[in-house]
Amino acid sequence: MHLNIFGGLLVAAALMTGAANAETCGGNYKVRPGESLSIIADTHYKNAGMWTVIHANNLDVLGENPNAVRIGMTLRLRCIDGLPKGLPGGRDAAEVAAAAAQTAPLVVAPGNAATRRRINVLTGSDFAPFTDKSLPNGGMLAEVVQAAMEAADPEQGFAIHWVDDWASHHEPLLSNALLDIGFPWFQPDCEAEPEAYRCANLDFSASMFEVLMLMFVDRDRPIAFNSDADLRGKTLCRPSGYSTYIFDQQGRNWLKSGHIDLVVGTSPGDCLDRLVDGDVDGAVLNEFLGRRKLKEMGLQDRVRVAEGQPISIDGNHMIVHKSHPQGAALLKVFEGGLAKIKEDGTYQRIIDEHMARVWAEF
């Protein structure tokens, strides 16, 4: 009897020791003298170029300027590919790795007539890492929306619909209330351009996730962006169909005043080709699309992110057409659920797991 108790105590002690010694990943880091985001990234991620990860995850304290980092400031570092290790507030590294290793695509259940009575949410594929049926749980923001709507638990229920023709989302699907709300969409500077289609016709939720719009430059012809003067007379490329309001928002008026020249590429890859051919000074793409294209095209040693700061920081929003009679109430339901999953940690878990997967691919 005594031996059994003693053996049980040994097992319990071993389990407790194992739990105590479990390797953690990510967490909180206090900035030291002489450190910048690139130095912190190099130290903790072994990659100085990952300063953008730290910036994007700490916009609430840094704002748009990554150089706003200060001694003693506490930054949240995401768990990426098992790093950084041992910081306070980190997560179990094995748990994050297991979640990031999931590769099963989303299985979309067919709808039926009863779906019409629910809150019908619209999204589409081919917008990695945010939404794509080939990604685990449909992508990062598809999983966020699913969790937020489950937390909101609307009385009428909800359903998420996938329509891959993004051009049909605003007109006619949302404008005619054939579906109720949709995601994810960037919001223009509506104070500066109230007549822009999205400003005039759509209402936006609070942002679900902010993405950095970066300038990618040739390593042999580097330019930095620290102030508007740095880009005067420069030629930038933006793919056809991609928003250009980022160049005129917040009083910049880069396009309206001729501060920059804009080349419209046929695709993101075309912009990068033009960059390495010397036809343009920079290609402006969101961080994830840009880094993915660099890998696909084998340009990681030729092209890099420009030093300085992002061209812009754009939020991803849920939208509703202003003509929808219950539009404001629907956005309120979603925002209530989003607030709940941010408070209980579900949101951060989802983002961390998807970001770990995304950065491992880069």
pLDDT of 243 above 90: no
Classified as helix, coil or strand, 210 is strand
- The pLDDT score that the predictor gives to residue 95 is 85
Mean pLDDT of 130-152: 97
Pairing of strands 119-123, 158-162: parallel
Mean pLDDT computed over 241-268 = 93
The band of 3, judged by pLDDT with boundaries at 50, 70 and 90, is: very low
The answer to whether 64 and 309 have CB atoms below 8 angstroms apart is yes
pLDDT at 14: 41
Give CA 83 to chain center in angstroms: 19
Confidence of residue 119 (pLDDT cuts 50, 70, 90): very high
Instruction: Report pLDDT digits (tens) over 270-292.
Output: 999 999 999 999 999 999 999 99
- The ranges of the chain annotated as CATH 3.10.350.10 are 2-100
Contacts of 330 (CB under 8 A, 6+ apart): 119, 180, 181, 320, 324
**HSE-CB of 121 using CA atoms within 13 angstroms:** 25
Using alpha carbons, list the distances in angstroms from residue 313 to 246, 250, 285, 348.
9, 12, 11, 19
**pLDDT at position 13:** 44
Report the pLDDT value the prediction gives residue 297, as an integer from 0 to 100.
97
Backbone angles phi, psi at 316, to 5 degrees: -100, 125
Query: Residue with structure tokens 């980022």?
Result: 246
Residue 248 scores a pLDDT above 70? yes
The span from the CA of 163 to the CA of 126, in Å, is 11
Q: What letter would DSSP give residue 80?
A: B
Residue 6: the pLDDT is 42
Is residue 204 over pLDDT 90?
yes
Mean pLDDT of the chain: 90
Q: Give percent above pLDDT 70 in the chain.
A: 92
Q: What is the arithmetic mean of pLDDT over 79-86? A: 91
Instruction: Calculate mean pLDDT across residues 12-22.
Output: 47
Cα–Cα distance measured from residue 143 to residue 145, given in angstroms and rounded to the nearest whole number:
5
Both structure tokens of 46: 């072994």
Of 103-107, 111-115, 170-174, give the range with the top mean pLDDT. 170-174
Give the pLDDT confidence score for residue 102 in this predicted structure.
75
CATH number for domain 213-313, candidates 3.40.630.30, 3.40.190.10, 3.40.50.12780, 1.10.599.10: 3.40.190.10
Residue 1 confidence class, pLDDT cut points 50, 70, 90 = very low
Are 135 and 106 contacting, i.e. CB atoms less than 8 angstroms apart?
Answer: yes
Q: How confident is the model at residue 11 (pLDDT cuts 50, 70, 90)?
A: very low
Q: Among 37-51, 107-121, 224-238, 252-266, which is the least confidently predicted range?
A: 107-121
Average pLDDT over residues 95-117: 74
Looking at the chain, the domain(s) classified CATH 3.40.190.10 span 113-209+316-361, 213-313
Examine the pLDDT at 83 and tell me if it is beyond 50: yes
Domain 2-100 has CATH 3.10.350.10: yes
Right CATH number for 113-209+316-361 from 3.40.50.620, 3.40.50.300, 3.50.50.60, 3.40.190.10?
3.40.190.10
pLDDT of residue 249: 87
* pLDDT for the residue numbered 96: 81
**What local confidence, expressed as pLDDT, does residue 193 receive?**
83
Binned at pLDDT 50, 70 and 90, residue 101 comes out as: confident
Query: Residue 113: pLDDT band by 50, 70, 90 thresholds?
Result: low
10 Å Cβ neighbour count for 119? 21
CA-CA-CA-CA torsion sign (62, 193, 130, 224): negative
